[in-house]
Chain A
Amino acid sequence: MRYDSARLTGLQDTPETTRRPHFDGPFFTLTLLLLVAGVVMVLSASYPRAWYDPGHVTGGNAAYYFVRQLVFALLGVAAMLFASRVPMAVYRRCAFAFLGFTLVLLMLVPVIGVKANGSRRWLGVGGLTLQPSELAKLAVILSFSALICRYRARMRTFRYGILPFAGILGAIIGLLVLEPHFSASIIILAIGAVMLFLGGVRLFWFVGAFGAAGTGIALLLTLFPYASSRINSWRDPFGDSSDQGYQIVQSLYTIGSGGLSGLGLGGSRQKFLYLPEEHNDFIFSVVCEELGFIGAALILCLFALLILRGYWIAMHCRDRFSFLVVGGVTSLLAIQVFLNVAVVTNLVPCTGISLPMFSYGGTALLIQLFELGIVLSASRDVPVH
Chain B
Amino acid sequence: MAAQTQTPVLAGRQMLRRCAFLAAVFGMLSLAVLLARLYKLQITDHGFYEQLAISQQLREAPGTAARGVIYDRSGNLLAVSASVDNVYVSPAEIEANGEDRALIARELSGILGLDYQDIYEKTGRRGSWYVTVARKIESDKADAIRRFKAENKISGVRLETDTKRYYPNGRLACHLLGFVGTDNYGLEGIEARYDDALSGTAGRSLRATNAYGGEMLLRRYEEYRPGEDGCDLVTTIDASIQYYVEKHLRQAVLDYDALNGAGAIAMDVNTGAILAMASLGDYDPNDFLAVSPEAQAIIDSAATKEEAAALLRDAQARQWRNKALSDTYEPGSTFKIITLSMALEEGKVSPGDAFYCGGSTMVTGRGTPIRCWKSGGHGSQTLTQAVQHSCNVAFVNIGLRVGAERFYDYCEAFGFLKLSEDPDANLTARTGIDLSGESGSIWWSRNTFCSKKNLSQLAAASFGQTFTITPLQLITAVSACVNGGRLMEPYVVQRLLAPDGSVSFEHEPKLVRRVISESTSQKVRQILEQVVGDPTDGTGRNAAVPGYRIGGKTGTSEKVSLEARTGQKEYIVSFIGFAPADDPKIAVLVFLDTPSDKSGIYISGGQMAAPVVGRMMADILPYLGVEPEREDSAMTEMPACVGLDLPEASEKLKAAELRFRTRGEGSTVTAQLPAPGTSIAAGTEIILYFDAPVSPDLETLPDLTGMDLDQARDTLSYYGLYLTTMSSVTDPERQTVSSQSLPAGTELPHGTVVEVTLIDSGEELLGRY
Contact = CB atoms under 8 A, between A and B. Distances in A.
B217 interface: yes
Contacts of B22: 194, 197-198, 311, 327, 331, 334
A52 B214 contact: yes
A8 interface: yes
A259 B212 contact: no
Contact of A8 (B13, B39, B50): B13
Given A311-B22, A347-B37, A48 B217 contact: yes
B644 interface: no
Contacts of B48: 256
Given A9-B9, A297-B38, 12 more contacts: A8-B16, A9-B8, A47-B217, A52-B212, A155-B11, A200-B11, A260-B42, A272-B211, A274-B57, A311-B19, A311-B22, A334-B30
Given A9-B12, A200-B15, A323-B15, A255 B41 contact: yes
Interface string B1-29: 00110111101111110111011001110
Nearest to A155: B11
A273 interface: yes
Contacts of A257: 46, 49-50, 53-54
Interface stretch (A74-82, A337-345, A366-374, A377-385): A337-345
B211 A258 contact: no
Contacts of A180: none
Interface string A8-27: 11010100000000000000
Contact of A304 (B27, B37, B218): B27
A338 B34 contact: yes
Nearest to A152: B11
Interface string B31-60: 101110111011101101110111011000
Given A8-B13, A256-B49, A273-B212, A51 B19 contact: no
Contact of B211 (A9, A199, A266, A274): A274
Contacts of A155: 11
Interface in B464-518: none
Given A259-B50, A327-B19, A274 B42 contact: no
Interface of A: 1, 3, 8-9, 11, 13, 47-48, 51-54, 62, 152-153, 155, 194, 197-200, 252-260, 266-267, 269-270, 272-274, 288, 292-293, 296-297, 300-301, 303-304, 307-308, 311-312, 314-315, 320, 323, 327, 330-331, 334-335, 338, 341-342, 345, 347
Contact of A274 (B20, B38, B56): B56
A44 B751 CA distance: 89
Contacts of A9: 8-9, 12
B9 A270 contact: no
B34 A269 contact: no
Nearest to A338: B30
Given A11-B12, A293-B38, A269 B216 contact: yes
Nearest to A153: B3
Contacts of A260: 42-43, 46
A295 B564 CA distance: 86
A253 B49 contact: yes
21 contacts: A8-B16, A9-B8, A9-B9, A48-B216, A152-B4, A198-B22, A199-B15, A200-B14, A253-B52, A253-B53, A256-B41, A256-B53, A257-B53, A269-B53, A269-B216, A269-B219, A272-B217, A273-B212, A293-B39, A296-B42, A311-B23
Contacts of A273: 210-212
A88 to B, nearest CB: 16
Contacts of B681: none
Nearest to A340: B34
A257 B18 CA distance: 39
A301 B31 contact: yes
Nearest to A326: B19
B278 interface: no
B218 A266 contact: yes
Contact of B53 (A47, A254, A312): A254
B208 interface: yes
Interface in B212-254: 212, 214, 216-219
Contacts of B9: 8-9
Contacts of B16: 3, 8, 11, 315
Contacts of B216: 48, 269, 272
| Consensus secondary structure, chain A interface | helix
Contacts of B6: 153
A118 B33 CA distance: 33
B57 A269 contact: yes
Contacts of B210: 48, 52, 272-274
Contact of B34 (A194, A198, A345): A345
B21 to A, nearest CB: 8
B19 to A, nearest CB: 5
Given A9-B8, A259-B43, A272-B216, A345 B38 contact: yes
B34 A341 contact: yes
B37 A345 contact: yes
Contact of A323 (B8, B19, B28, B38): B19
Contacts of B212: 52, 54, 273
A14 to B, nearest CB: 10
A153 B53 contact: no
Contacts of B54: 257
B208 A314 contact: no
A51 to B, nearest CB: 6
Contact of B42 (A11, A259, A314): A259
A198 B42 contact: no
Which residue, of B34, B37, B218, B219, has the highest number of chain A Cβ atoms within 10 A? B34
Most buried by B among A194, A255, A267: A255
Interchain residue pairs A-B with the least CB separation, the first 3? A256-B49, A334-B26, A311-B23
Contacts of A13: 4
Contacts of A256: 41-42, 45-46, 48-50, 52-53
Nearest to A51: B217
B555 to A, nearest CB: 66
A300 to B, nearest CB: 6
A53 B48 CA distance: 30
Interface string B587-621: 00000000000000000000000000000000000
Nearest to B21: A197
B217 A1 contact: no
Contact of A320 (B15, B43, B52): B15
A31 to B, nearest CB: 15
Nearest to A148: B15
B38 A296 contact: yes
Interface string B662-673: 000000000000
A216 B718 CA distance: 116
Contacts of B39: 293
Contacts of A62: 217
Contacts of B8: 9, 11
A301 B27 CA distance: 9
A255 B38 contact: yes
A269 B20 CA distance: 41
